[in-house]
Structure 1
């Protein structure tokens, strides 16, 4: 099965700032690019942080701002109230991903941390692109018939050597319903797991049955009755 990777969905043309980019220039780039955050690059193109709208709000240019922010901010963030350039305002280290990361893992990272986008970097941290929530959600826009074909030909036939005619695969709005009868119980479990891993699958309804419960067949020591290993 081919797993959709960050490389397949990322945006390559990325607006960035340097560590010494001034506050107002950062704001201008954010507004013009219609994004909420920008990667901050070192002179060699390595991502050293991300500066976001939230970071910029610490310095709003009002009288008395320092006293207000320094009273309520954690010391690790208080310096942003005085920040004038990207290196003083950015959040670091940047949370990044790599081009060969599966889209599902990137989606989980975005959701777990509440981020809207992730810089995509190479092995040494140089920027290659950006992947956003919208990019990863695009993986779920696959047509139902494409998902059904992948279940039949990649999961059943190619991976499991199971005749696709023995399994009914129904896909509606990304939800896959599997029904039919397989030879082994262990096959039912594996087929469900592999189907879940297909890009575009929202959920799997497993109605498969089986001929043999091979998961409960064990080899037992004839002397003391202890389990030696699984038969399969």
Structure 2
């Protein structure tokens, strides 16, 4: 993600939007309000579509033939008038794979990144995502062991053997509870750079089934 973002406000003129797109060699700009909330996105296509639609002509005015008729000296289109809204954006905590799927589904190359209050915090591009998928296997393994197994789940590092080859993470071992398995798989799959997860996990206790006390409380005889 890039946190230095070129953006505009709703009152930015058509011409200034075009200048920014050309100067920074980008195809889309987020449109913000006074508190940095993302209201929409203005793109090259929005500008071209507006231009293709034509401009209002002075002769089209209903009183154009009257001597006292007055006309605006110029017509100014703003980012707020031509933007596409609502903006297609991703949350800052979204996994790279989720952002990649959204880009592919919507056919865009750049996405605004927003916080919990929809305020702009950055921009993620296809190139950013590509660099994440090129993350070294050793670095991915380190994060699985240190951040997920030990820090998040409180497991011993030797409880699960972690192998990473070309971004595919193999998890092999025996956990204490069955309910820990989907959690570990989900957290690993959300890690940037992970292409797929191959679980080979078992559990000592199947806590997905009701215990004897729970069965008794529910009137179950089995």
Which ranges of structure 1 fall in alignment gaps of 5 or more residues? 1-8, 67-81, 228-232
Cα offset, 1:84, TM superposition: 3.9
Matched, 1:54 2:45: yes
Which is higher, the Rg of structure 1 or of structure 2? 2
Q: Partners in 1 of 2:188 and 2:108 — Cα distance?
A: 28
Cα offset, 1:145, TM superposition: 0.9
TM-score (norm 1): 0.66
Contact 2:174/2:204, CA 8 A, preserved across alignment: yes
Aligned partner of 2:146 in structure 1 is 153
Please report the RMSD computed on the Cα atoms of aligned residues, expressed in angstroms: 3.7
Higher helix proportion (structure 1 or 2):
1
> Matched residue pairs, number?
201
Cα offset, 1:146, TM superposition: 1.5
Secondary structure at 2:220 match in 1:
coil
TM-score (norm 2): 0.68
Matched, 1:201 2:191: no
Q: 1:177-188, aligned counterparts within 5 Å?
A: 177-188=170-181
Q: 1:81-230, aligned counterparts within 5 Å?
A: 84-96=77-89, 100-104=92-96, 106-107=99-100, 109-120=102-113, 127-219=120-212, 220-221=215-216, 224-225=219-220
Aligned partner of 1:4 in structure 2 is none
Aligned partner of 1:34 in structure 2 is 25
Greater shift, 87-96 or 166-175, is seen at 87-96
Which ranges of structure 2 fall in alignment gaps of 5 or more residues? 58-74
